[in-house]
Structure 1
Amino acid sequence: MEEKRIEKHLYERKYQTATGEWSRSFYVRLKDWKGVRRVWPAGDALKTARAKRAEYEHRNALREDFDKSKVQGMTFAKWGDIYLERYASKKRSHAEDARHVAALGLFFGTMTLSQVTRAHVEAFKQSRKERLSYKGTLVSDAYCNRELATLRHMLKLALEEGLVETIPLVRLHKEEGGRERTLSPEEYQRLLADSPVHLQRIITCAYETGMRAGEIRNLTWEKIDLKMGFLRLAAIDTKANEKRAIPISPALRAILDDIKKEQREAKVAPIGGHVFTWGGRAMSEGWKRAFHTACQKAGLDGFRFHDLRHTFVTMKVRQGFDYKRIMSITGHKTFAVFQRYNNPSEEDLKEVVAGTPPLMLQKGSR
C-alpha cells in the first residue's frame, strides 16, 4: 500500500487488490481543535474528497466535538470490527489480522477499551500458552507476538481517535534466534526435481533473488527490466515500503525468457500482467500446498518457502559478497535482522580455523 499527500489535509492511498488490479481511496487527516489527530474516509473520487475535506475543516473551525457521536464505553469486540473494516480490509494480511483479532476478542471482547490494562495484557499472554492456534497446535511465543503486535496497533489507533486517554504498555515475548534451515545445492536440486514446472520457476526465483513469496506472486512484467537486467520493485511492492533493484541471474533470465515465449505463443496476455501464472491468472494460495508436497517428496520435512530467503543470504555471505550489497538486494533494513537470515553451517565454521598455522609453543622458564 502506498500513501501520499495530495493537498493540505487530503491524502491518497493506492493499493493492489487480490486480482492484481490497482485501486485508490482518499482520506482527510487533520489535528482538530482538541489536538487529537483525526482520520476520515473520503471516497475514491478527488472531487468528493475535496468536498469532504472542506466539510471537516468547517466543522473543526466551529469547534465541533467529533467524539460526541461515538458510542460511550466502546468495547474491544466492537473496536475489533471497526479495526478490521477501517484499517485492515485493504491489507494483504487481512485474513491473518482477522485471526489475531478473533483470538484477542476471546479474552478482551467484553471489556471497554479504557478497561484494558497492562495486567490484562500479561494475563492474555499467559492464557495463550494454554490454548491452541487455529491450526490446532500450541501457540508459540513468535505467533503470540504477532497477536500482541495487532493488539498494540489497535490500542494505538484507539488513542489517536480519542477513544481512550491512555493505553497500556504491550511487551512482546523474547523470541529465540533465527531459523537455521537452509538448502544445500544437492537439496535444492532434489526439490526442483520433485516439483512441477510452474513451481520450479517460483522456487528458482526465490533461490536466485531472496525475494519474499508475496513479492514473487505479485511480480508483473512492467517491473522487469530485461535490458538492464533488473527486477525493479516499487515501494508499494515491498514489506519495508522501499523500492528495490534486484539483479536477474542467468538462471532466472532463462526462466523469464521461457515464460515470455509461452505467453506470447498462447496469444493471451495474463490477467494483471503477472509473470508467474496458472491458467492465465495470478497464482493462488494453492501453490503453497504444492510446495509442501514437493518438500515431502524431496525429504525436506519442515522446510518453509521463506527458508529459501535464508538460503539466499547464507549462500551469498558464503561466496564472500559484502553485507551492504546483499541487504540492498533482499531489502533488510537493519543488520540485526539481516544476521538472523545468515545461517553458517558447522562446515563453514570449520573453514575459519582450517587455514590457521599451528603455533609453536615455547617452554616457559622455570
Structure 2
Amino acid sequence: MVKDRDGSLFIYFYPFGGKKKVGIKLPTVKRKKEAERIEMAILVAIRSGDYSGLDAVSREACIRMFKNQNLAIPPDLGGDELKEDLTYRDACKIFITDPGIHDSPGRWRHELSLANIGAKIGVNRPIKSVWIPELEQYQRDRLTDKVSPATVNRELVSLSKLFSVLIKHRLIEVNPVRLLDSLSARDGERQVYISFKDVQSIIARTPEWFRPLALTAYYTGMRRGEILGLTKKQVNLSKRIIVLAPQNTKEAHWKRVPIHKDLVPILESSLENGKRKVTSLSNKLFLFYDKTGPRPLELETFKNVWPRACEALGLKEPWPRFHDLRHTWRTNARRSKMDPQIAESILGHQTKARSVSERYGRISDEELVNAIDQMTFDHGETEILVANDVAGLSSKSSNSVVTGKQSKEKKATLHRDPVLMISSS
C-alpha cells in the first residue's frame, strides 16, 4: 500500500492469482484501514463471482480495475449501468453512509431533508433525471405547504451535499442544485423571546422523557442536535461543565457549556436513569422511554413533541419553536449582563469568525460556571416577531399560553419513507 502526494492511497494486490500484481488508486480514501477493507472486499467478490455485496466505492474501484486491465466487466458488476440506474433512494443510502456524513453531527438534518425531498420527487426515480425544473417545482410545492423559504433552502443544501458525494464517487458529473437560485428568506425572519412561565407551561404538556431535553436547551442554549448526541462522558457534574468536541458542534470547534445550578438535579436524574435501566444499550445521556422500556432517542420521535404541546395549549400562531429556546437563552444572557465573549463562547456560531481574543484568550471553567450562576431566566413576556404575517407587516404576538385559543389548523406533514430515514447505527 502506497500513499500518493495528494494523500490518496494505492492498493497493490494479486486479484486474479498468479504473478500479476495490480494497482488501484483510491482517490476518495485517506485511511489505511478503509483501503484494506476495500482490497479484501474486491478479492472476495472476484473469487466468489458475487459482486452484489460491494459498496459504491469498492464497486467503482473494481470496475476501474477491470477497465485498466482491458478485461470484460462481469455482468453482475454493472459498470456504467450502475450510474444510469442509480435511484434517488440508492443515492441517499450512498450519501448517508459516506464517512464524512455518517459521523457528522448534522446527519439527522440531512436525513430529514432528504426524506422530505423524496416524498415530493419520488424515491425510485433515477437521480440523473433530477434537474432544475424539478427542483424549482419542489420549491413551489414546499411553499404551498406553508414551509418557510429558509427551511426549503436548508433542505436543498442537503440535496446539494448529496450530489457532491455522488460526484466524489464518480457516479454523476454535475450538481444541479448549484445552478438553482435560493429562495429569499427575509420574509420569514423571526425574533422570539419565550417567557419563563410559558416555557414551563409548554414543557409541562410534553412527555416525561422529553422534559430533561427541553430544560437542557433552555438552561444551556445548546442546539437540538448537540443535545440529542450528548453522551454520559461529556457531562461532568462535579465541575458543572459539558464538553463538546469539534465533531459534536455545528461550527466544528471545541465548546464548553456550563451547567446552571437548577439544571444539575435534572442531569443527575438522567444519569441515574441510564445507570439503573440501561446496561450496554447506549452511552447516550437522554433516552426514549415507552412500554417496551428505554431505547436510543431518534429524531423522528423527538421532532413533533414540541408542536403538539403548543397545539394542546391552544397557542395562537405563530407558535414558538424548540430552537427559539436558544434565542431566548441569548436574550436572557444579555439581560443578565453576562460578558458577551463568554456568552458567545457558550453558544457558538457557525458563521461567526472568531476574533483574536477568542482564539488566544482562554476562558476558564470557573469563569463559565460563575457566569451561568449569575444568569437569571425571567426577563419579560413572550414576544414573537415574524416578518411575513398575514397583513404583510412585522407584528408582535403576545402568545400567552393562558389566553391563546385552540388552533383548528393542522400542520401539513409529508410522508417520510422509512428506508430514507436510515438509523444511526
Same fold (TM over 0.5): yes
Deviates more, 1:309-318 or 1:267-276: 267-276
Residue 128 of structure 1 aligns with which residue? Answer: 138
Residue 9 of structure 1 aligns with which residue? Answer: 9
Cα contact 2:121–2:138 (8 A) shared by 1: no
Cα contact 1:187–1:298 (8 A) shared by 2: no
CA distance in 2, matches of 1:46, 1:178: 46
**What per-residue deviation string (whole Å, max 9, x for no partner) do you get for residues 114-166 of structure 1?**
xx7xxx52x34542355358xx8245423332343244334434444445555
Displacement, 1:88?
1.8
Cα contact 2:217–2:325 (8 A) shared by 1: yes
Cα contact 1:208–1:252 (8 A) shared by 2: yes
Deviates more, 1:94-103 or 1:47-56: 47-56
Displacement, 1:315?
1.9
CA distance in 1, matches of 2:334, 2:208: 29
In 2 relative to 1, CA 325–9 (structure 1 residues): closer, same or farther, beyond 3 Å?
farther
CA distance in 2, matches of 1:144, 1:99: 10
- Aligned: 1:71 with 2:77: no
**One-letter identity of the residue aligned with 2:197:** E
Residue 184 of structure 1 aligns with which residue? Answer: 195
CA distance in 2, matches of 1:274, 1:110: 37
**What per-residue deviation string (whole Å, max 9, x for no partner) do you get for residues 272-294 of structure 1?**
13322324333344344443333
| TM-score when normalising by structure 1 | 0.63
**One-letter identity of the residue aligned with 2:37:** T
In 2 relative to 1, CA 51–230 (structure 1 residues): closer, same or farther, beyond 3 Å?
same
Cα contact 2:234–2:242 (8 A) shared by 1: yes
Cα contact 2:83–2:171 (8 A) shared by 1: yes
Residue 20 of structure 2 aligns with which residue? Answer: none
CA distance in 2, matches of 1:255, 1:63: 61
CA distance in 2, matches of 1:65, 1:314: 66
Residue 273 of structure 1 aligns with which residue? Answer: 283
CA distance in 2, matches of 1:271, 1:188: 31
CA distance in 2, matches of 1:163, 1:267: 45
Residue 220 of structure 2 aligns with which residue? Answer: 209
Gaps of 5+ in 1: 1-6, 11-29, 337-343, 349-366
Question: What's the secondary structure of 2:141's corresponding residue?
Answer: coil
**One-letter identity of the residue aligned with 2:138:** R
Residue 243 of structure 2 aligns with which residue? Answer: 232
1:231-250 correspondence to structure 2 within 5 Å: 231-250=242-261
CA distance in 1, matches of 2:89, 2:382: 52
Residue 386 of structure 2 aligns with which residue? Answer: none
Displacement, 1:49?
4.5
Cα contact 1:231–1:245 (8 A) shared by 2: yes
In 2 relative to 1, CA 137–78 (structure 1 residues): closer, same or farther, beyond 3 Å?
same
| TM-score when normalising by structure 2 | 0.56
Across the aligned residues of Structure 1 and Structure 2, the Cα RMSD in angstroms comes to 4.5
Question: What's the secondary structure of 2:242's corresponding residue?
Answer: strand
CA distance in 2, matches of 1:330, 1:98: 29
Residue 88 of structure 2 aligns with which residue? Answer: 80
CA distance in 2, matches of 1:347, 1:51: 60
In 2 relative to 1, CA 193–88 (structure 1 residues): closer, same or farther, beyond 3 Å?
closer
Residue 388 of structure 2 aligns with which residue? Answer: none
Displacement, 1:197?
4.0
CA distance in 1, matches of 2:221, 2:321: 13
**Percent identity of equivalent pairs:** 24
**What per-residue deviation string (whole Å, max 9, x for no partner) do you get for residues 201-244 of structure 1?**
22210001112223222322111112222111223333333332
Residue 339 of structure 1 aligns with which residue? Answer: none
CA distance in 1, matches of 2:136, 2:118: 17
**What per-residue deviation string (whole Å, max 9, x for no partner) do you get for residues 56-80 of structure 1?**
69x77x95699x96426945x7252
In 2 relative to 1, CA 311–94 (structure 1 residues): closer, same or farther, beyond 3 Å?
same
In 2 relative to 1, CA 346–203 (structure 1 residues): closer, same or farther, beyond 3 Å?
closer
For CA contacts below 8 A with separation 6 or more, give which structure has more relative contact order.
2
Question: What's the secondary structure of 1:281's corresponding residue?
Answer: strand
1:141-156 correspondence to structure 2 within 5 Å: 141-156=149-164
Cα contact 1:131–1:139 (8 A) shared by 2: no
In 2 relative to 1, CA 63–210 (structure 1 residues): closer, same or farther, beyond 3 Å?
same
Cα contact 2:243–2:254 (8 A) shared by 1: yes
Question: What's the secondary structure of 1:174's corresponding residue?
Answer: coil
Question: What's the secondary structure of 2:192's corresponding residue?
Answer: coil
Which of 286, 290, 297 is the aligned partner of 1:283?
297
Residue 403 of structure 2 aligns with which residue? Answer: none
CA distance in 1, matches of 2:37, 2:81: 30
Cα contact 2:246–2:252 (8 A) shared by 1: yes
